Amino acid sequence: MQNLEGAKRVNAFFAISSPLNGTHTAKLAWGKGARSMGINSQLLHQLKSSESILAELPLYSYWTPYDMVILPARSSEWILATNRTFNCIWHDWMVSNTGLLAQLLADLQDVEQRL
């Protein structure tokens, strides 16, 4: 969204258990994309330096303090976003957490009403 003018083509951004500020576990990842999500990575520095492009968009981050994939778990918090915390005990289960899904639906409806 930041590098390819995507912010002009979207109405909001929703991140679920995303390492927005990097993760120590990226060192263990197989793929180049996942490895680029490490703490202090060049990609994350580049994104951070241009995040003002997203300032006009509704931004949401849904995360769990119990995440063992995103380390530290608070790395999923984003200063520009509305951050929502869920007590989910497993990273992969976040996308099926009923509380998260209900909140995501409410947030989507809120964004839709603002359009």
Condensed to tens digits (0 to 9), the pLDDT of residues 38-97 reads: 999 999 999 999 999 998 999 999 999 999 999 999 999 999 999 999 999 999 999 999
Residue scoring higher pLDDT (82 or 3): 82
What is the predicted pLDDT for the residue at 28? Answer: 87
Calculate ∠ Cα 88-76-106, nearest 5°: 65
| Full-model pTM | 0.91
Work out the average pLDDT over 1-7: 87
Judge whether residue 4 has pLDDT over 90.
no
Judge whether residue 112 has pLDDT over 90.
yes
How many CB atoms sit inside 10 A of residue 49's CB? Answer: 9
Please report which helix (H) or strand (E) contains residue 13, including its range: strand 13-16
Condensed to tens digits (0 to 9), the pLDDT of residues 7-44 reads: 999 999 999 999 999 999 999 888 888 889 999 999 99
